[in-house]
Amino acid sequence: MSTLRALAAAQAVATGVAQPVATVRHLHLSRRPLVLVPLSMAGEANAPLAAMVGSAPGEGRLLIVPQPRNRDQRFAFAAELAAVVLPYVDAHRTANEAVAVDRGRDVRYRYLDAPQLLVPNPAGVTFLRLLGRSTRFRRVDGEYPVPPQVPLLGRWLTFFAERAEHPGSSALVAMTQALTLHWATGQSAVEDLHLPALLGWIAPSAGLSGAEAAARAEDPSLCPPAGPATDPEFDNRLLAPAIEAYSAADDEATRVEAYAELERLLRDQLTPTWELMWRGLGLLRALPPGARVAGRWDGDRDAFTAHADHLDSDGAPQPRRDGAVAAAARLHRLERAAATYAVQRAYDDPLVMAEYRLTGEAFVGEVLLADPTRVDDSGRRPVLRPRIQLMTTDPVLVPVGATLSSPSRPGQKARTVFVTPTADGKTEVVLELSGGMGRGLTASPGSVPEVGERLCYTTLSDAYVPAAAFPAVEETPWTHGGPPATAAAAPDEEWA
Amino acid sequence: MTDTEQRLAAIRGDAPPKRHNARTIAALTGNPGCTRRAVLDGAGVDKPALAERVGFPARFGQSRFAITRGNMFEAQVKADGGAELLRLVAERLGVPVPAAVRWTDLDAGDDLATRARRSAALLTEALSSVESDTADPPGADEPPRVDEPAALFDHPMLGLTVAGQRVHLEPDLVAARLGGRFHVVEIKSFPVIDGQADPAKLAGAAVQSAVYVLALRELLTARGHDPQLVSHEVVLVCPRDFSNAPVAHLLDVRRQLLVVRRQLDRMDRLDTLLAGVPADFTADPAADPAALADSLARVPARYAPDCLASCELAYLCRHEAQGQTGALGRPVREALGGIADVAEVLALAGGETATDPERAEAAALLRTAARLRADALASA
């Protein structure tokens, strides 16, 4: 929790409405995202109960499982869900583009767009991960055959759930997380997980304060929970009798009637959340995207293309657990992504950068002096090393000799030469610039900051960091258990 | 009746003290710094009724589906006189699966005290003979052992002293005597998928098991046996993956034991806490709601957002904590320099000078933060 975010939360308490903590949108939003609101049955291991799914507000399709403990019905649900998700995913595989790799010596292709799934909260992401886990190993033949689209759905859901762990990815987004990335409410992080309350703070209905709207949203009889867990009161009072009525139905007419009643009940539980999802989406769409959002979406498109190609070639399901090498590589990938994401958000958004200014890792100052023609000839070859002097009111905790960069000039490095506190509480910083000024000993026009410019310099760098090398799987060191035995086929689980 | 007991009875009102079970004792460890909670729990006040009465009812419903599933799974695991359960537990502990098992259901009888006596007698029956035979005391690092045939005890009635009162625990466990030691076996119906369970549920199960371990150890100590005969490793039996097939895991509850022990000790010193409580303090749910609210307000709570998940009074305390930075979560309060009041935070951020010199640093931080925030919002 940064002090700036905490201060925004305090302001939210005082003003009664959520306060912005971002000035730009830090995630990509698809023109046609697939919104998915799942419900699961209490007590069971991720047994689907119902879902509302669709890619436009008026196109929400309700899927229900009339007897969630019934294994065949679970897979019928998965097949129905696959009939919505798989065509949606495939619709993004129409056009691709060539991307130069290996310094232009080769090209690879990636799809021009990628699918995007939106769920209400992190528990929704977990639901999809577990649904993917329970379906991706299913067999289309043998003792308990399932329709062929079920294991395929499992592999896609697993793909999305893994992307959701990847910092900065927008392939599978939990709405509560997307919203709290941009607004601070006057309630705690635990309470922010409740989508209706969160939206109550951000956009309270007319005549209500955020706190009042959030308090109202906490009453499950007024505002059903955003899932996947259902309200126990609803379970006991309405759902259980309806499921019993369906199971007890002994003729077609009664069964149809009981099914319709279940559908009505579950639709009533899902519709409010469905509408909130689109409202949340509307709020996020109103923010301008950050400059580096598109670049991160390219990463999602790359991952989507790679997974689609994988499914086209052999399509083996993702393993239950990563081996040692795969796990280390994944952790490394996630750490790099987290570091890059943090830097990019700060570069894109002055309000995020302000957090680093507060901790002394960045400062904003006005250029007082500039020497754009300064040449350092102490080395073997003379080099262009202009110097600038800035004056800032921010706390500067940057040591002399540190390399800084500026979000507005990411290709240029700045070495700290002097840091001098002045009598009036300000700080004078002298920086020596290198790079991004063209060739030769004369800086190309505009490449050196001019006197009077206001600039931000920070220790955060969005320069490319090469990935570490990992051994091949068959060379797993003994410290990590040695090379794994050739993986046996995933065992088929017992289903009760 | 001691003074403390009299006071607690006065606080509670006419009703008999609310009975604790492993779940409620486990919940005591949630927010140990809260005086209001310690006093109310120590007095055995009917907190759900109290919360309802003052207009902030708790929301701790349990779904019928979850209860049914839990009971079904438990019945399935315990079927056939516990043969399957014994095999699971023995394999997980790495001891040979005994050919025969003695299954004792201690659920019979309705009088709690009688049941507790019977449980204690049967649980320690085998021990008395063994220990007198042992010539050499067991080594310091060698856990004591009982060389008796394997036995499973279902629903043993255990007791603990909570706030000076003997509490019978609603028994929801199996005690397994296997490989020479007692192990608490907890049967839970949340799944373990690819070796991983829901962390929150797992943490809850661990604290609950620790309560049982503690109670079982007290029982052995009271009868003159070595408490270390009860292992700190609890066997957790859960459904595996998405199936109903049970799988056993070991859970080390040493840390939870310390936490529970510490909180119980603290409640034993209730009289010290009570010294700070007004003499006419009442939490009797039958009292007038306005008077109750006034009365409760005089015993300080320490609200944190986590309370919402574990304490029946949380909604009342949250209401009281409005305008406090702690209600937003402890990290928020810390990030704001530890200043408790939202209004004061905003005043300091707005440039007001801190009256308390200890807050000068926090005030400077907040002022800078406010300036940077305004600057960034203006430049965007």
Q: What pLDDT shows up at residue A309?
A: 92
Distances (CA, A) of A423 to A297, A426, A428, A451: 47, 7, 11, 22
Write the residue in B191, B349, B377 that is nearest to A351 by C-beta.
Answer: B377
Which position has the higher pLDDT, A391 or A491?
A391
Q: Which residues of chain A lie closer than 8 angstroms to B242, CB-CB?
A: 45-46, 134, 493, 495
**pLDDT for residue B343 is more than 60:** yes
DSSP label at A441? S
What is the rounded CA–CA span in Å between residue A4 and residue A9?
A: 9
- ipTM of predicted assembly, 2 dp: 0.86
- Distance, CA of A78 to chain centre: 24
What mean pLDDT do residues A245-250 have?
89
CB contact under 8 A, A1 and B194: no
Which position has the higher pLDDT, A19 or B353?
A19
Q: Which residues of chain B lie closer than 8 angstroms to A180, CB-CB?
A: none
Q: Which residue has the tokens 């040449």?
A: A375
Task: Compute the nearest-CA separation of B175 from chain A (Å).
Answer: 25
CB contact under 8 A, B335 and A45: no
Task: Compute the nearest-CA separation of A77 from chain B (Å).
Answer: 16
Q: Which residues of chain B lie closer than 8 angstroms to A45, CB-CB?
A: 190-191, 193, 239, 241-242
Task: Give the whole-number percent of chain A exceeding pLDDT 90.
Answer: 64
N-to-C CA span, chain A: 45
Q: What pLDDT shows up at residue A155?
A: 94
What mean pLDDT do residues A269-280 have?
94
Write the residue in B194, B242, B305 that is nearest to A191 by C-beta.
Answer: B305
Mutate to test the interface with B, among A2, A4, A7, A234 (most CBs of B within 10 A): A7
> Closest by alpha carbon to A28, among A299, A335, A273?
A299
For A283, the token pair is 């709020």
**Residues B270 and B283 sit within 8 Å (Cβ to Cβ):** no
pLDDT, tens digit (0-9, with 9 covering 90-100), for A316-338: 888 888 888 889 999 999 999 99
**pLDDT for residue B156 is more than 90:** no
CB contact under 8 A, A24 and B343: no
pLDDT-derived band at B20, boundaries 50, 70, 90: confident
Mutate to test the interface with A, among B243, B332, B371 (most CBs of A within 10 A): B332
pLDDT-derived band at A429, boundaries 50, 70, 90: very high
DSSP, collapsed to helix, strand or coil, labels residue A489 as coil
Write the residue in A6, A235, A357 that is nearest to B64 by C-beta.
Answer: A235
Q: Which residues of chain B lie closer than 8 angstroms to A237, CB-CB?
A: none
Average pLDDT value for chain B? 82
Task: Compute the nearest-CA separation of A130 from chain B (Å).
Answer: 9
Task: Compute the nearest-CA separation of A15 from chain B (Å).
Answer: 11
Task: Give the whole-number percent of chain B exceeding pLDDT 70.
Answer: 90
Mutate to test the interface with A, among B242, B317, B322, B324 (most CBs of A within 10 A): B242
Distances (CA, A) of B195 to A323, A430, B192: 15, 56, 6
> Closest by alpha carbon to B17, among B8, B25, B26?
B8
What mean pLDDT do residues B349-378 have?
88
CB contact under 8 A, A351 and B376: yes
**pLDDT for residue A465 is more than 70:** yes
Average pLDDT value for chain A? 90
pLDDT, tens digit (0-9, with 9 covering 90-100), for A65-76: 999 888 889 999
CB contact under 8 A, A3 and B342: no
- Distance, CA of A364 to chain centre: 29
Q: Does A3 touch chain B (CB under 8 A)?
A: yes
- Taking CA atoms, what residue in A is nearest to B348? A7
What is the rounded CA–CA span in Å between residue A72 and residue A79?
A: 10
Task: Compute the nearest-CA separation of B246 from chain A (Å).
Answer: 11
pLDDT, tens digit (0-9, with 9 covering 90-100), for A341-383: 999 999 999 999 999 999 989 999 999 999 988 988 888 888 8
Q: Which residues of chain B lie closer than 8 angstroms to A14, CB-CB?
A: 342-343, 346
**Residues A387 and A432 sit within 8 Å (Cβ to Cβ):** yes
